């Protein structure tokens, strides 16, 4: 098991994050609880900034906010000098509420609604990443209505298969995202953008998948994109001024995961693009990368209280926590694996193999299959590590479970950045139509 960021184990054998004892955090804020390590978030942002913008100038790192989008997160990302990728009106709204500078916001998505496009135009976001023909025409028309010329990137599907779980591959040809390069659609879309009166072609975007360890996938992608850039210049005269290579940088979840170094990623990407620009005699484009998981993932921990257990001798021992697939659907969706530690007995040696299940009413609600832990008791605290990415953002109220709070910890201070939902929150938007109440009273009256 690997401890992340500021994690340590104190003399009492408790897991400490950001100088805060997790046993105290559980007492003060309750469980389940998402804990985010501010220092690790900021360190990773800085490493990205240093490795790309600091070293190469003409590049930008933008945080993919779908990973973990909250006001405090947008605020920290802004402070660290990164841009922001949003994929919905809701993420855009969150960014603007956090006073994120709109010119550093990139708006993605394969089916942006007219209302979302208008919102983005009115907010003056820096780039809209055009995904398909319908959007291209719609955006041009809406931009004209607003008397604006909108800077766009054209999203393409470069046909690169990254070595990762198939559900989270988006770059291959059979993909819902972007204009396919090999069919000629990408070139045609660029041509259309250059001819559209209210769109300004700035460059290309692609994203080849997530949780990628093989840096070679990026080299290959950069090559496909720069070849396309050369073809675009030859056939349309347009210049790719910006090349956005998407996110996807993989992280350590469990033993065997071997993430690359961010600085190696930066050197490879910038070196490859610059070599190709030289060999095609193209101007060096501004290179953009949009990491999400690698910024938020390792900084997050979910703290649970252990409740019941069920031992089936010779088969399996289930240990249940007070959360589950509602706060972390990733094991059920992607067979994702996690490491965990007993937060109140973190220095004790493992004694038994158990499987961690949630409290939702279905058998698929498993968080970890087969993990070595000390003999657990109900009331113990379990910390599941590396849950900062796509956990809170994909959480649900399944089984009417209120979403956990999120606390941000640093130097012994813990601040709630998202309040725990209450039962009132669960019914806040529910309505019983008058009609139902009426028909009930009629039935009762006629009985
Ligand atoms: N840019 C684009 C256009 C993307 O679609 C994504 C992620 C990213 C950047 C950020 O990729 P990252 O650096 O986080 O790998 N829910 C799944 C992951 C889906 C990824 C979707 N796109 C999961 O829980 O693993």
Q: Profile the chain (447 residues) by mean pLDDT over runs of 10 residues.
A: 96 98 98 99 98 97 98 98 98 98 98 98 98 98 98 95 65 87 96 98 96 93 97 97 97 96 98 98 98 98 98 98 98 97 98 98 97 98 98 98 98 98 98 89 61
Q: Please give the model's pTM, rounded to 2 decimal places.
A: 0.96
- The predicted pLDDT at position 184 comes to 95
- Measured CA to CA, the distance from residue 94 to residue 378 in angstroms comes to 38
Look at the chain and count its residues.
447
Rg (CA), the chain: 24
**Token pair of 113, please?**
């609604």
How wide is the angle at C-alpha 242 spanned by C-alphas 239 and 244, nearest 5°? Answer: 135
Alpha-carbon distance of 96 to 94, in angstroms, equals: 6
- CA 91 to centroid of ligand 1, rounded, Å: 14
- Name the residue of 62, 67, 247 to mutate for ligand 1: max ligand atoms within 8 A of Cβ: 247
Which of 45, 17, 12, 19 shows the shortest CA–CA distance to 33? 17
Residue 10 and residue 1 in contact, taking contact as beta carbons nearer than 8 Å: no
Going by CA atoms, what residue is nearest to atom 19 of ligand 1? 168
**C-alpha span between 341 and 385 (Å, rounded):** 8
pLDDT at 162: 79
> Residue 205: beta bridge partners?
155, 244
Closest ligand 1 atom, CA of 170? 5
How far apart (Å, rounded) are the C-alpha atoms in residues 50 and 225? 24
DSSP annotation of 441 reads H
Atom index in ligand 1 nearest the CA of residue 390 equals 24
Q: How far is the CA of 65 from the centre of ligand 1 (A)?
A: 9
Tell me how far the alpha carbon of residue 394 lies from the centroid of ligand 1, in angstroms. 12
Query: 66, 127, 169, 296: which to mutate for ligand 1, most atoms within 8 A of CB?
Result: 66
Task: Give the ranges where 65-166 is alpha helix by DSSP (H).
Answer: 71-79, 89-97, 114-123, 133-145
Do 257 and 338 form a contact (C-beta atoms < 8 A)? no
CA atoms within 13 A on the CB side of 143: 21
What is the per-residue pLDDT for 171?
63
Answer for the pair 354, 382: CB distance below 8 angstroms, yes or no. Answer: no
Question: Is residue 299 helix, strand or coil?
Answer: coil
CB 193 within 8 A of CB 202: no
Q: Is the CB of 4 under 6 A from ligand 1?
A: no
Point out the ligand 1 atom lying closest to the alpha carbon of residue 248: 15
Q: Do 403 and 19 meet the contact criterion of CB atoms below 8 Å apart?
A: no
Tell how strand 83-86 and strand 105-107 pair up: parallel
Position 174 scores a pLDDT of: 87
Q: Is residue 67 in contact with ligand 1, taking CB distance under 6 Å?
A: yes
Is the minimum distance from the CB of 337 to ligand 1 under 6 angstroms?
Answer: no
**In this structure, which long-range contacts are made by residues 93-100, counting pairs with CB atoms below 8 Å and at least 24 apart in sequence?**
93/119, 94/65, 94/69, 94/70, 95/65, 95/69, 96/123, 97/71, 98/71, 98/72, 98/74, 99/75, 100/74
Query: Which active-site residues does the annotation give?
Result: 361
**Does any ligand 1 atom lie closer than 6 A to the CB of residue 171?**
no
Q: Is 178 a pocket residue for ligand 1 (Cβ < 6 Å)?
A: no
Give percent helix, percent strand, percent coil of the chain, each to the nearest 5: 35, 25, 40
Tell whether ligand 1 has an atom less than 6 A from the beta carbon of residue 210.
yes
- The Cα–Cα gap between 417 and 37 comes to 12
How far apart are the CA of 282 and the centre of ligand 1, in A? Answer: 29
By CB neighbour count within 10 A (0-12 exposed, 13-18 middle, 19+ buried), where does 66 fall? buried
User: In the numeric block, which tokens belong to residue 345?
Assistant: 């007995």
Is 71 touching ligand 1 by the criterion CB < 6 Å?
no
Neighbours of 11 (CB within 10 A): 6
**Pocket-testing residue among 292, 302, 389, ligand 1, by greatest number of atoms within 8 A of Cβ:** 292
| C-beta 218 within 6 A of ligand 1 | no
State whether the beta carbon of 179 lies less than 6 angstroms from ligand 1: no
């Amino acid at each position: 098991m690997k401890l992340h960021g500021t994690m340590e184990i104190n003399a009492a054998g408790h897991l400490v994050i950001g100088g805060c004892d997790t046993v105290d955090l559980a007492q003060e804020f309750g469980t389940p609880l998402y804990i985010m390590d501010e220092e690790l978030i900021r360190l990773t942002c800085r490493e990205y900034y240093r490795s790309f913008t600091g070293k190469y100038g003409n590049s930008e790192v933008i945080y993919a906010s779908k990973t973990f989008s909250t006001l405090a997160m947008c605020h920290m990302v802004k402070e660290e000098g990164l841009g922001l990728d949003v994929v919905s009106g809701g993420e855009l709204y969150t960014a603007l509420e956090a006073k994120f500078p709109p010119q550093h916001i990139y708006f993605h998505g394969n089916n942006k609604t007219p209302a979302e496009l208008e919102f983005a135009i009115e907010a003056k976001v820096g780039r809209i990443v055009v995904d398909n023909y319908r959007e291209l025409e719609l955006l041009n028309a809406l931009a004209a209505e607003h008397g604006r010329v909108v800077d766009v990137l054209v999203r393409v599907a470069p046909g690169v298969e990254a070595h990762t779980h198939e559900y989270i591959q988006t770059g291959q040809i059979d993909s819902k995202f972007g204009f396919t390069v090999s069919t000629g659609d990408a070139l045609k879309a660029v041509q259309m953008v250059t001819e559209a009166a209210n769109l300004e072609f700035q460059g290309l975007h692609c994203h080849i998948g997530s949780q990628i360890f093989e840096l070679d996938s990026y080299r290959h992608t950069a090559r496909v994109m720069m070849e396309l850039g050369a073809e675009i210049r030859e056939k349309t005269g347009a210049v790719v001024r910006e090349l956005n290579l998407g996110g996807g940088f993989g992280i350590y979840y469990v033993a065997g995961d071997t993430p690359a170094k961010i600085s190696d990623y930066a050197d490879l990407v910038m070196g490859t693009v610059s070599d190709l620009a030289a060999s095609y005699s193209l101007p060096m484009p501004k290179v953009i990368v949009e990491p999400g998981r690698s910024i938020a993932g390792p900084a997050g921990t979910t703290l649970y209280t252990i409740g019941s257990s069920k031992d089936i001798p010779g088969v399996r021992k289930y240990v249940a926590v007070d959360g589950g697939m509602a706060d972390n659907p990733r094991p059920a969706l992607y067979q994702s694996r996690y490491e965990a530690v007993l937060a109140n007995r973190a220095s004790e040696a493992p004694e038994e193999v158990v499987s961690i299940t949630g409290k939702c009413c279905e058998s698929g609600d498993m968080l970890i299959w087969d993990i070595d832990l000390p003999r657990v008791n109900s009331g113990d605290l379990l910390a599941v590590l590396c849950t900062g990415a796509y956990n809170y953002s994909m959480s649900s109220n399944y089984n009417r479970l209120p979403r956990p709070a999120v606390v941000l910890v640093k130097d012994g201070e813990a601040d709630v950045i998202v309040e725990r939902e209450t039962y009132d929150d669960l019914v806040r938007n529910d309505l019983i139509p008058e009609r139902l109440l009426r028909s009930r009273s009629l039935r009762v009256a006629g009985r």
